[in-house]
Amino acid sequence: MISLLAALPAYTPPGVPITPALALEVQAEAATLVSGGLLSGVAAADAPMPSDQCSTATAIGKDRRLVSVALGYDSQYWASWQSASGFLPWKSLSGSAFASGPAVVQDAQGDVAVFGRVPGGRLQYATLHVGGGGGDWTDLGGATTGRPAPIMDSRGLLHVFAQSATDHAVLYKGQYVNGSRAVWASWQVLDGHVSSAPQPLLDAEGWLHVLARGLDRSLWHKQQVASSSASSGWEWGEWTSLGPGLPLPSMPRIPRTLNSQNFVELFARGPDRALWHKRQALADESSVGWSAWRRLGGVLAGAPAASVGSDGLISVFVRGVDGAVWMTQQGHHPVAAGADAWVSWSKLQGAQIHAAAPEVATDGNGLMHLFSRSADGAMLHLRQAAVLGRNASSTDFPTPWASLGGRFRSFTC
């Protein structure tokens, strides 16, 4: 097994006082890399870095409506389903007490499956019924830590990734077809040691990718590749670094999505608390590489969240240090243009203080919904208005945040 450890000093943000007035004053600028992989002007020092805290997990079901799953103070998962008039009252999913936040994914039948870690490190999952509670919980075993990360592959099979509780390796468990049924295989170890929960994505060609923070605090990447020697026709490639140059907060959430050109786009909260961005790009006529990290500015108090709107442009939402939610968006098509631009940051309406990172999801009508935990533990919700033919902005969210009630805990992303 390899260790994702490089000679990259730890980073501490500059000693600049951060006030609400500086919450999201932005100048989009390119990241400048110098010899040795460090950002120009970045001081190196050992310092603790905060973890990203999330509010809820959200997915779309077979009825094209959203379901939000949150972690209660009773350590149970609670779910609320979207309805024609808003969101239904929260319902307990019963089952075990959970030691991690929930993670959700839509399965091949269009149902929403929710995964969680119980005390002792074993993973469990259940399938949710539309408008009702959850089904029986299935134990998947394992000795994990952190929040699990499920995903559905191009064949409609589920996979779940997690960090090992014993040696910081990436653990992986996937379904395979046995006759007419999808059954779970044994746990496998993907070589390497990481310092965050792994985060998977599926690209436009049907290959799975895994992202994780290495022991050097930078982002590392591993993906499936074609193999003529493997019976499955594929194997896992080697871990590759997607930065040195951008040390990440501990346990980061890395929003990842496919843009309108089917390239992967990544976002992260940097060590300077700004939003940073990296994307896949054509390296030459026959291969795809990665752009350098680019600074999009802002002063973030938590993890970013990203979503592709009905116009094909990506919007990013963050919690500022003033406790409000702010947004920015890609400014034009094509998104890979050399003069890539992002619109100015704008603050969403409402006087609420948000206590954890927002979650964004797109419903069956192509409208974005935001969820965030308030300071009193209630879940807040904001829906995009029906806007067509122009870029999204804060004016597309004309109504104040509405409370969905409940009392929930934030959790490590």
368-379 per-position pLDDT tens digit: 999 999 999 999
> Does residue 113 surpass a pLDDT of 50?
yes
The vertex-106 CA angle with 101 and 111, nearest 5°, equals 105
Residue 121, token pair as written in the block = 């490190």
Q: What share of the chain in percent tops pLDDT 90?
A: 52
Domain layout of the chain by residue ranges: 253-413
Lowest mean pLDDT: which of 4-13, 49-58, 104-113? 4-13
> Does residue 35 surpass a pLDDT of 70?
no
pTM given for the model: 0.84
The pLDDT score that the predictor gives to residue 32 is: 29
The pLDDT score that the predictor gives to residue 306 is: 93
> Does residue 331 surpass a pLDDT of 80?
yes
Residue 54 DSSP symbol: E
Residue 25, token pair as written in the block = 């004053």
The pLDDT score that the predictor gives to residue 115 is: 98
115 close to 102: Cβ distance less than 8 angstroms: yes
> Does residue 48 surpass a pLDDT of 50?
no
Residue 296, token pair as written in the block = 């999009």
The pLDDT score that the predictor gives to residue 327 is: 94
Average confidence score pLDDT of the chain: 82
Helices and strands in the chain, H and E counts: 0, 36
The pLDDT score that the predictor gives to residue 227 is: 85
**CATH assignment of 253-413?**
2.120.10.70
Rounded-to-integer distance, Cα 249 and Cα 413, Å: 11
Determine whether 264 is exposed, middle or buried from the number of CB atoms within 10 Å of its CB (0-12, 13-18, 19+).
Answer: buried
Residue-wise pLDDT for 2-34, tens only, equals 443 333 333 333 333 323 223 333 322 333 222
Q: Which of 181-185, 305-309, 364-368, 394-398 has the highest mean pLDDT?
A: 181-185
Q: Tell me which of 364 and 34 has the higher pLDDT.
A: 364
Q: In 3D, which of 311, 315, 333, 328 has the Cα closest to residue 274?
A: 328
11 close to 217: Cβ distance less than 8 angstroms: yes
Q: In whole angstroms, how large is the CA radius of gyration of the chain?
A: 20
Q: Tell me which of 408 and 11 has the higher pLDDT.
A: 408
> Does residue 349 surpass a pLDDT of 90?
no
Q: How many residues does the chain have?
A: 413
Rounded-to-integer distance, Cα 331 and Cα 344, Å: 9
> Does residue 254 surpass a pLDDT of 90?
no
233 close to 36: Cβ distance less than 8 angstroms: no
- According to DSSP, the residues that pair with 134 across neighbouring strands are 128
307 close to 257: Cβ distance less than 8 angstroms: yes
Half-sphere exposure of 189 (CA within 13 A, CB side): 14
